[in-house]
Amino acid sequence: MNGEMDGALTAKLTEAERLLRARRGDAALGALLAAWAELRAPELAAQIEALSDALAAQRPRTLGALRPGERHQRWLEQAAEADPVALPELLEHLTDDNAVRSRERVLALAARRPDPRIAARVLDCIERPPYTSAGKFWTQVHRLLPRHADPRVIRRLERATVALDTSMGERLERMRERSILRVREALAPLATRPGEAQTKQLARVAEAVEALAAASLDAEAQARALLDAVHANPGALEHRQIYADWLLSRGDPRGEFIALQLAEIHGRATRTHKARANALLREHGSAWIGTLGPALVQRDRAFRGGFLHAARVTSKAFELEAIADDPTWSTVEVLLNPPLALLERAPLPALRELGLDAFLAPQLFATRRRGRPRWPGVETLRLELQDSWRNLALDRDGNLSAAFLVGLARCLPLPKLEHLRLRSELDLPTPQVRSMLAGPLGQRLRSLELVLANTDADALPGLVSVLERSCPALERAFLSPRPGKREGLTLRRAAREWTALELDLPSDGMHGPSRALRRVARDLAATRGLELVERR
């Protein structure tokens, strides 16, 4: 190494040490990588990797929560940003898709500056092949090695064996032998051993990296403690504010997001604040729900107070074991379509509204006859009685089966249950509704929504009479014969007397069912002395 290069290298290592002592780890990593371009010493590579691990531990992992197509697109976007701190997560997901996409990712890495972490990951692929064919992928993998040449690569390549007894195995063996030669050629003009001055500098860099890593561990433990406090007390907004302040002090965008959403809860958020919160959510939302991502319907998830508030579980397959015990569930207040196995395991202390297939609800509550209810805060139950449950929910005469009615009555262990929303694709005549609401369940309801398919509008007065007899505490009822459309009757009551009748009609014009609904509404208003209010 000539004097000019030696001086440049010394300057870069000095800058890296200064940045480390100033706790500017991201910038220090860039300075060490700049030094790596000139000095391919294992001692320097070790410090790059140690600092990288410490910094990556502080970054939220986002890619694992995405579905394959979204993950691949986001992977390429992050690779194009060339953020050295983000590289460990990119390398972790380098080959978790098909060979074509993995080849695209390898090509994206070819444009990055020399980095010992890339060489190490490439060697992992060679030692443990993710694909048994995919020649184009392997060609690009071996092309990466000379660019990111690391003296340690040669030793690993020489020891590596190709465990494929096929023609592809023979081809990979030839690639391995050529890569050894090309890496040696790439390293020939580069320094691989530090001089005396650089050795001392690297020792100081190692001390600074160790100190920063220790501080990172302390910060990670503090962050975990603050987050645990939020999950343990999801209704205590002060814990969220403390966590937001801590994140803001470290420049974490989630701190800003939590603060903005808390301001909205307290009525202090402006339109600009809400727009900023939505922008942050679009950019980072997948990271903030962590492992729950693949299990949730993206358009139906919502945040409140900076944390996941409402979610619908997807009907697609997902790994239950990976998400069931995730503390992220702790702040969820509205949960729709969860499988029973998830409900039995997930921590849901904040749950207020639960949506289920109507026939699954009796199965769920039938298993919890004794002991304290698992979801004591649930106030609203949404049930969907799908046509696919016809043979189970109805008996031979077409009536709701005794098993279904008894099971539904077991919803009563929910001590705060006061609101029931039932959407049925089955024909439910008035006697069936009477059977469902008879007993303690109907006695407790304060609001009820019945959306019944194939129910004639002329049946609605009979349903109103059922509500008058079976639901003495009822304050609001919505009755609709048209699932999928916000069309129906809303009745309001106080002191067991109906006080208002509202009719919602479609805005796109009247049709046969709408005219029948209007006629029935007018008759109800006349017989009960109510003023009818129509809305479109």
Distance CA 517, CA 512 (A): 9
Question: Is the pLDDT reported for residue 430 higher than 80?
Answer: no
Position 243 in a domain: no
Kindly report the length of the chain. 536
Residue at 171 is within a domain:
yes
* 186 domain-assigned: yes
d(CA 449, CA 199): 75
How large is the average pLDDT for residues 223-233? 93
Q: What is the mean pLDDT of residues 404-419?
A: 69
Q: What is the pLDDT of residues 482-510, one digit of tens each?
A: 666 678 899 999 988 899 999 988 766 56
Q: How many whole angstroms separate alpha carbon 156 and alpha carbon 62?
A: 31
Residue 267 has pLDDT above 80, yes or no: yes
Give the chain's mean pLDDT: 85
How many domains is the chain partitioned into structurally? Answer: 1
Q: Mind listing the pLDDT tens digit for each residue in 28-80?
A: 999 999 999 999 999 999 999 999 998 887 777 778 767 788 889 989 999 99
* Tens-place pLDDT, residues 144-195: 999 998 998 888 888 877 655 566 778 888 888 999 999 999 999 988 888 8
Residue with tokens 């009979």: 462
Identify the band that residue 512 occupies on the pLDDT scale cut at 50, 70 and 90. Answer: low
In-domain check, residue 463: no
What is the rounded CA–CA span in Å between residue 413 and residue 362? Answer: 12
Distance CA 80, CA 304 (A): 32
Query: What is the C-alpha to C-alpha distance for residues 479 and 314, in angstroms, rounded to an integer?
Result: 28
Residue 159 inside a domain? The answer is yes
The pLDDT score that the predictor gives to residue 369 is 47
The mean pLDDT of 214-226, rounded to a whole number, is 85
Question: Is pLDDT at 354 greater than 50 in this prediction?
Answer: yes
Q: Is 55 within a domain?
A: yes
Name which of 8-22, 114-128, 231-245, 391-405 the model is least confident about. 391-405
Which residues are within 8 A (CB) of 435 and not within 5 positions of it... i.e. 6 or more apart?
Answer: 399, 400, 405
pLDDT at residue 273 above 60? Answer: yes
Higher pLDDT pick, 352 / 293: 352
pLDDT given for residue 259 in this prediction: 96
Strand duo 380-385 + 488-494: pairing: unpaired
Query: Which single residue is written with the structure tokens 């609101």?
Result: 419
Q: Is the pTM higher than 0.75?
A: no
Please compute, for residue 338, the number of CA atoms within 13 A of its CA located in the half-sphere on the CB side. Answer: 28
d(CA 244, CA 266): 15
Task: Look at residue 86 and tell me if it is in a domain.
Answer: yes
Could you tell me the residue range of the domain that residue 16 belongs to? Answer: 1-210
Closest CA to 334 of 248, 274, 419, 230: 419
Residue 21 has pLDDT above 60, yes or no: yes
DSSP of 56-114, one letter per residue? HTTSPP-GGGS-HHHHHHHHHHHHHHT-GGGHHHHHHTTTSS-HHHHHHHHHHHTTSPP
Q: Are 409 and 442 in contact (CB under 8 A)?
A: no
Note the pLDDT of residue 345: 87
Give the sign of the dihedral formed by CA 382, CA 387, CA 392, CA 397: positive
SS (H, E, C) 448-514: EEEEECCCCHHHHHHHHHHHHHHCCCCCEEEEECCCCCCCEEEEEEECCEEEEEEEECCCCCCCHHH
Q: What is the pLDDT of residue 164?
A: 53
Distance CA 226, CA 58 (A): 14
Q: Is the pLDDT of residue 1 over 60?
A: no
Q: Is residue 123 a contact partner of residue 91, using CB atoms and an 8 Å limit?
A: no
Whole-number pLDDT of residue 403: 61
pLDDT over 70 at 392, yes or no: no
What percentage of the chain has pLDDT greater than the value 70?
86
Q: Are strands 307-312 and 488-494 parallel, antiparallel or unpaired?
A: unpaired
Mean pLDDT calculated for residue range 321-341? 90
248 within a domain of the structure (yes/no): no
Q: Given the structure tokens 């904040």, which residue do they identify?
A: 350
